Amino acid sequence: MSVIERTPYEACPLCGDEAILDIGTYDCTRHPLYHPPLPPTISWCECYRCHHVFTDGYFEGSAAAEVMSRVSPSQVPGNAPHRDARWRAVVDRVGACCSRPGGEWLDVGFGDGSLLQTAQNAGFAVSGIDLRQESVERLARLGIPARRAALESLEEQARYAVISLADVLEHMPFPRPALEQARRLLAPLGILFVSLPEFGSLAWKELDGRRSNPYWTEIEHYHNFSRPHLEEVLRQTNFEPLWHHPNGRYLCGLDVAARRVAS
């Protein structure tokens, strides 16, 4: 069985600059989701111009399908008890930023579905999209509308009060078009919620110092964002960052909320 290949980035996927610095190659064969024919290593780069940190390539087509052929059991709807307490503070903070109570909340790449369940309990009309058909069917059986769809395929412009990218943006080969699409789908003054591991945080540096940082070997990740860099990209795509909080859901977790502003 031949090893599948990543599609190389020809330039920085954020700013387009072609000056790229290699910063390290890591063995990912101990990752829980690793399996042949996935490549056994991941190489990371840094853009000389904007300092964005990203992998040297991404998976697409059949290669992407192979990467997504396995999923952690904890990320499948219905495989764990409803964990409202884990998301309640996030939903409350996001709801406080909305221009009116309730509204439609779209979760992109909904994982175990618990964020949507919590938002529904708080009065939002919720729905989710995901690329894994089994996850879509499982969430629908829990009574939450779900579709197998990519973010870029949606056409409901200016519809949603909230869109969440909870541990999703770092999985997208090209984050800027994803943020621009989220803005198109949000209603005026709509809220974008993003969570991801915070590159360069104190916890991140401590993990690096112990040589035990799991994010350098994350098979499905293509990007590492610091908080300042993420907020800069949000501003560039016509969002106004509103708040940020560390989260205790995983190592180095960061939550950020931003409001859609007029272009």
pLDDT in tens, 216-247: 999 999 999 999 999 999 999 999 999 999 99
* Residue 81 pLDDT grade (very low, low, confident, very high; cuts 50, 70, 90): low
Closest CA to 177 of 143, 146, 151: 151
Query: Would you place residue 71 in the very low, low, confident or very high pLDDT band (cuts 50, 70, 90)?
Result: confident
Please name the residue that has the structure tokens 């969430």.
139
Cα separation, 237 vs 231, whole angstroms: 10
Determine what percent of the chain is predicted with pLDDT higher than 90. 89
Q: Which of 18-32, 69-83, 165-179, 199-213 has the lowest mean pLDDT?
A: 69-83
**pLDDT at residue 2 in the model:** 87
Statement: residue 80 has pLDDT above 80:
no
Query: Which two structure tokens, joined as six digits, stand for 35?
Result: 């399996």
Mean pLDDT estimate for the chain: 94
Which phi and psi angles does 92 have, rounded to 5°?
A: -65, -45
pLDDT at residue 84 greater than cutoff 90: no
CA 229/CA 213 separation, integer angstroms: 20
Contact 126, 119 (CB under 8 A): yes
Those residues whose C-beta lies under 8 Å from the C-beta of residue 24, and which sit 6 or more positions away, are 43, 44, 216
Distance CA 239, CA 234 (A): 5
- pLDDT single digits (tens) 128-169: 999 999 999 999 999 999 999 999 999 999 999 999 999 999
